[in-house]
Amino acid sequence: MAITSPCKPSAPDQAAGESVHAPFGRTLAIFTLTGVLVSGQLYVVIPLLHDMATGWGSSAGGLTWLVTAFGIGYGVGFLVFGPLSDRYGRRRLLMIGLPLAAITTALVALSPSPEVAFGLRAVQGVAVAMFPPAGLAYVAERFEPRRRVAAIAAVTGSFLASAVLLQVIAQVTVDAIGWRGMFLGSAAGFALAALGLRAVMLPDLPRERTGSLLSVYRAVPGLLFDRVLVLRYVATIMLMVGFVAVYTGLQIYGVTSPTELLALRAAGLPSIVLVPLGMPWLARISPTIRSAAFLAGGALALAAVGLTGAAVLVLLLAVYVAAITGGLPSMNESISTRAGQARGTALALFSFALAVGGSVGPQVAAAFGGFTPLMYGLAIGMGVAALVVLASARSPR
């Protein structure tokens, strides 16, 4: 499959430019809130494990498979639904996916046993996975070009913010509503998100539907064998490995108390909120150069954490989260631009790369045996990722 040159606008870009752009404020607000709810389903179980184990008479350690089962379904769903959104349209897919997410999430709340919950969590992950590739592709197609970078930064930032927000909400509310009430509340949130997106999303752009249903996946080999995209996917995996490994390392190596750890997690939220506001000024920089710069900044922040220890941990982690918050949408933009008309499929692979990085992150944290060596190891990894992104810019078109 031919990959559209970044120098030329793709057919969807041209069509989007000729049509009415999506209303910025209310569309971005609903997309961002939906992103928090969607991605947060991966993390929401963590504070609920003790209550779930007590209710079922099982061990909390064994119930960690509830996180893994969701992650597997989530990753598989990206690969299935990204190409389908290229064929059938972003809005149509989301109008199916979010109601399914509401139903499957409610079913998790009704699970009579851990074994049933494991299966339902995997199904929930598949249903929820419809949003990231279709939603990000919609933002790339239907927002005004001058606001697109900020919008992508806000939506991808919501995926990062969910790791903190959903855990905090679950920790605060579980005593009052129980773990089943938390899942029922999430199900109601998906139903409301479906209504909100239905109200703000523009009709789908016209799309070619030649060939069989399986033909929509023919773009995958072309994207995976594109050297530029492969290098950027590798850097994306490293970016997410670092993000998850940092907080896992804080947890397992006892660097801080549980209360202080919650504060450290929350310390990154200002960066997640503020960085997207500065993205319009950074949009004049090539997304590839921007990605490499943010990765290099993250590497320096991690190296400084390893050097100084806990002395200025809050400040340095805030800088690191800012680098991740800026680097993630920049990587998204560089991949989307390169993929052209296959952006839904390319962003599905991007989301899959994030899921892989998030799954590997805890194992990477455990492998280093200490917090300081982990920080140095991740700093080296982030530095290499920055070089990989720069190498992708020099690869032949």
- What single string gives the DSSP state of each residue in 289-348? HHHHHHHHHHHHHHHHHHHHTTTTHHHHHHHHHHHHHHHHHHHHHHHHHHHGGGHHHHHH
Helix axes 343-367, 371-394, angle to 10 degrees: 150
Residue indicated by tokens 């919501």: 158
Residue with the bigger pLDDT between 190 and 264: it is 190
Q: Which carries the bigger pLDDT value, residue 2 or residue 33?
A: 33
pLDDT at 198: 94
φ and ψ at 43, to 5 degrees? -100, -20
Long-range contact set of residues 275-279: C-beta below 8 Å, sequence gap at least 24: 275/153, 275/157, 275/322, 275/325, 275/326, 276/150, 276/153, 276/154, 276/157, 276/325, 276/329, 277/150, 279/149, 279/150, 279/152, 279/153, 279/326, 279/329
Q: Is the pLDDT of residue 168 over 90?
A: no
Evaluate if residue 327 carries a pLDDT over 60: yes
Which DSSP category does 257 fall into? Answer: -
pLDDT tens digits along 40-87: 998 788 778 888 888 999 887 778 788 778 888 888 898 888 888 888
* Residue 351 three-state SS: helix
Domains parsed from the chain with CATH numbers: 20-207 (1.20.1250.20), 215-397 (1.20.1250.20)
pLDDT greater than 90 at residue 151 = no
Over range 321-342, report the average pLDDT. 86
